[in-house]
Amino acid sequence: MDLKVYSAPWCRDCYAAKRWLTEHNIVYQEINIEEVPGAADEVVRQTGKRAIPQFVVDGKWIQPYVPGGGFKYDEMAKLFGV
């Protein structure tokens, strides 16, 4: 599985998502939208909004949280089989 995580250091939801991935030993490549040229634009192009974190699992874009509601723990556990 190829997993990319679009995130930023100031994003609390990103922190929660990356912590969850690490706790479950799920390997990912982090793409910091503040440092990688064009990364923020790619998020908007793919999702229609500037919303992070975003997971890209084998090329499929997934929003792993509910805005204002937090990380989708149960849904992500099912997706990743943990």
Q: What is the CATH number of the domain that holds 28?
A: 3.40.30.10
The pTM assigned to this predicted structure is 0.94
pLDDT digits (tens, 9 = 90+) for 4-30: 999 999 999 999 999 999 999 999 999
What's the pLDDT at 75?
96
Q: Are 13 and 63 in contact (CB under 8 A)?
A: no
Instruction: Name the band, by pLDDT with cuts 50, 70 and 90, for residue 44.
Output: very high
C-alpha–C-alpha distance, residues 31 and 46, integer Å? 14
Domain that residue 54 falls in: 3-80
Task: Please count the structural domains in the chain.
Answer: 1
pLDDT digits (tens, 9 = 90+) for 47-76: 999 899 999 999 999 999 998 899 999 999
